[in-house]
Amino acid sequence: MSVQTGRVPRWGLVDVVAGLLGFVLLSALVQALVRMPALATQPQLRWALEQIVAGWLPLVAVVLIACFWRGRRSLAADFGLRFQPVDLAIGLLAGLVLRASAVGIAELTRAVSGTPSTPYGGGVGADPLWFALTAVVAASIVTPVVEELYFRGLVLRSLQQAVLGTGTGTEERAPDRHRLAAVVAVIGSSLLFVVFHLDGVPETAAAVSRLITLFIVGLVLGCLAVLTRRLGPSIVTHMVFNLSVAVIDIVTSATSAPSAPILG
């Protein structure tokens, strides 16, 4: 479908709220379904319901509806879904720095709360193929694209538009208004990013550090989207940040596995 460059986008905060409501409703429905005894012995089906139906579906649906029904019919024109070669370098550096920061925040929170350290409990598990599907393909490739389209695409740009409005003041005030819109958009999208990942009221040091980390990650991803005006850097950063966990799991499993017998 061709890009309608002359079409004025009508998407905005209404679409953001629609995505939030869809997420809440589908999450409640899925939680009711996974409590059924028939699903108790079907962990893979439960994962598919929770990740695909409750996680990806409402965000993808609202972004596509906003773009193709209420926008320019181009994810690049509406939400900045564009990539440049430099995005790989930006994403790699930012993703690794964020992962190192996440480790530091976790340790600092643990020390402040007096929580004793515990051994790392991750790993590949008994099914490497399932690990590759969930930890690499789903968590490190699909999820970053879906979440960046919604949070740093639809949410961030809708907040910017809401602050800027139409016919805002004189040319002298325009730069200040644009800076205010950027700050509100980055902070607002970061807070909503944290809310979407809440599993309840945080009661442990690990849960608190996770929320702090999510907010910082949201701020960095939002700043990248605002500064570059495209989602390429934030998507690659998000991918590297998530993939680093899978890499740690793989290394942990390799180093803890028993030595193979030497043949010959």
Let me know if residue 132 belongs to a domain.
yes
pLDDT at residue number 10: 93
Does residue 71 contact residue 78 with C-beta atoms inside 8 Å? yes
The domain in which residue 192 lies consists of: 80-255
Residue 103 domain-assigned? yes
* In a shared domain, residues 194 and 168: yes
- Do residues 55 and 93 both lie within one domain? no
Lowest mean pLDDT, pick from 66-80, 147-161, 164-178, 207-221: 164-178
Domain boundary among 75, 91, 112: 75
Which pLDDT band, with edges at 50, 70 and 90, does 201 fall under? low
Are 122 and 207 members of one domain? yes
Q: Are residues 91 and 44 in the same domain?
A: no
Work out the average pLDDT over 68-90.
97
Q: Give yes or no for residue 168 having a pLDDT over 50.
A: no
Residue 257 pLDDT more than 70?
no
Q: What's the pLDDT at 6?
A: 62
Which among 152, 141, 119, 123 is positioned nearest to 246, based on CA atoms?
Answer: 123
Same domain, 37 and 129: no
Residue 140 placed within a domain: yes
CA–CA separation, 247 vs 110, rounded Å? 23
Higher pLDDT, 205 or 174: 205
> Is 41 found in the same domain as 90?
no
- Total structural domains in the chain? 2
> How open is the CA angle 80-219-110, to the nearest 5 degrees?
145
Query: Which residue, of 75, 92, 118, is where some domain finishes?
Result: 75
Domain annotation covers residue 261:
no
Q: Looking at the structure, tell me whether residues 32 and 141 fall in a common domain.
A: no
Place of tokens 């004793």: 116
Task: Give the residue with greater pLDDT, 121 vs 151.
Answer: 151
CB 244 within 8 A of CB 95: yes
Residues 70 and 93 placed together within one structural domain of the fold: no
Percentage of residues in the chain having pLDDT higher than 70: 91
Write out pLDDT tens, residues 96-130: 999 999 999 999 999 998 888 777 777 888 899 99
**Listed residues 42, 75, 108: the one ending a domain:** 75
How sure is the predictor about 170, in pLDDT bands with cuts at 50, 70 and 90? very low
For position 255, what pLDDT does the model report? Answer: 76
The whole-angstrom separation of Cα 18 and Cα 6 is: 25
* Residue 153 covered by a domain: yes
> Has residue 145 got a pLDDT over 90?
yes
Task: Please indicate, yes or no, whether residues 135 and 61 belong to a single structural domain of this protein.
Answer: no
- Does residue 262 form part of some domain? no
Q: Are residues 58 and 103 in the same domain?
A: no
Whether 31 is covered by a domain: the verdict is yes
Q: Count of CB atoms within 10 A of residue 167's CB?
A: 5
Closest listed residue to residue 7, CA positions, set 69, 96, 64, 100: 69
Residues 59 and 119 in one domain: no
Q: Confirm whether 263 is domain-assigned.
A: no
Q: In this structure, are 98 and 34 located in the same domain?
A: no
pTM of the model: 0.91
User: Which residues touch 156 (CB under 8 Å, ≥6 apart)?
Assistant: 185, 186, 188, 189, 222, 225, 226
Q: How much is the average pLDDT of 134-147?
A: 97
